Structure 1
Amino acid sequence: MECNVSGREVKVKGKNGELLFTLPPGVDLDVEEGQARARPSGRQVNLAMAGTVRAIVANMVHGVSEGFERRLELVGVGYRAQAQGNTLNLALGLSHPVAHQMPESVSVQTPSPTEVIITGADKQVVGQVAAEIRNYRPPEPYKGKGIRYSDERVVRKDAKKK
């Protein structure tokens, strides 16, 4: 794993690829002896941004060395998913099938028709793709049908009583 800072650009390279990040104004990043240290430059307001930059760089290092994964579950009769190359085909009870195109840096797998695994090096992109897929059919509170994260618990409501 290798981390380089040139000007305001941070480049992290590892076995899972290469990620780039532009430092915001008011924060400097120093790399010494294999450790990256974010420090605010100037005003106290930049202290919070320095912590954010530290977390982003830590996620970049984790992403290029181990990667990130997000699991989705499809709950409902006839809800199915199938990965074909860089496209995820979904049957969600709509009048048309849904084909979701994956970005270049993200891969998708479907070990079973009701399970989707999204993997990639960039945590933000993996989470965004998972949120976009979930948005096609978010879980509803009455029957629990929809696309949910594997660790998500849907609070169920009782049906209307007379």
Structure 2
Amino acid sequence: MSRVAKSPVTIPSGVNVLCEGRRLSAKGKNGALDLDIHPDVTVSQAEGQLTFAPIRPAADKMAGTMRALCQNIIKGVHEGFERRLQLIGVGYRAQMQGSNLSLTLGFSHPVVYAVPQGITIETPSQTEVVIKGADKQRVGQVAADIRAYRPPEPYKGKGVRYVGERVVLKETKKK
């Protein structure tokens, strides 16, 4: 059996988890999320813990995957997830305008990003963007979409990057 699937997921106080058939629902202070459980995996809930087991031996990897996805859902509705982006470059700025994020990234026009439902974006400074939400996959996708407007270029390092991301700079061409 998968090593990940062997450890149970503990349900923190303040989070309600309901497992009906092949659907797992979690509700907490950050909202509610649902997950469809794979047919080859069984989920059992007892004493504030979720345990996962494969139905057939070939599905042990899927049991580990389902356990990780359920752990992310429970953590998301309880604590939430966050990604931080940093804008590096002269004149690169970000600011919230209502429910849209306006980015000045060196183009002839500002880039306007419509914030999806369930995601909150903050701009503590003009060169910093903080993306928060309950769904880990959606938070990561929004961060990747914003970064894709101007990824870091390899010669000067200008662009949008994750906080802590290391960009390896290339050496310029010599005569």
Shorter-chain TM-score bucket reads over 0.9
**The one of 69, 79, 82 aligned to 1:69:** 82
What secondary structure is seen at the aligned counterpart in 1 of 2:113? strand
Q: Residue 30 in 1 paired to residue 44 in 2?
A: yes
Residue 86 (structure 1) shift: 2.2
Tell me which residue corresponds to 2:102. 89
Aligned equivalents of 1:75 and 1:151: distance in 2?
13
Query: Is 1:19 the equivalent of 2:37?
Result: no
Gaps of 5+ in 1: none
Residue matched to 1:133 = 146
TM-score by length of 2: 0.90
> 2 CA distance for matches of 1:4 and 1:33?
13
* Partners of 2:73 and 2:105 in 1: CA distance: 34
Distance 2:59 2:97 in 1: 45
**Where do 5+ consecutive residues of structure 2 fail to align?**
1-14
Is it true that 1:47 corresponds to 2:73 in the alignment?
A: no
Question: 1:108 & 1:86 partners in 2: Cα distance?
Answer: 9
Shift of residue 29, structure 1, vs aligned partner: 1.1
Shift of residue 81, structure 1, vs aligned partner: 0.4
Alignment partner, residue 3 of structure 2: none
Residues paired across the two proteins, number: 161
Aligned equivalents of 1:69 and 1:96: distance in 2?
Answer: 28
Shift of 1:38: 1.4
Q: Distance in 1 between matches of 2:110 and 2:38?
A: 41
Q: In 1, Cα distance between the equivalents of 2:84 and 2:49?
A: 31
Which stretch shows the higher mean deviation, 19-28 or 116-125?
A: 19-28
Could you state the TM-score of these two structures normalised by the residue count of structure 1?
A: 0.97
Which of 77, 80, 88 in structure 1 is aligned with 2:93? 80
**Separation in structure 2 between the aligned mates of residue 35 and residue 86 of structure 1, nearest angstrom:** 38
Runs of 4+ in 1 over 3 A off after TM superposition: none
CA RMSD in angstroms, aligned pairs only: 0.8
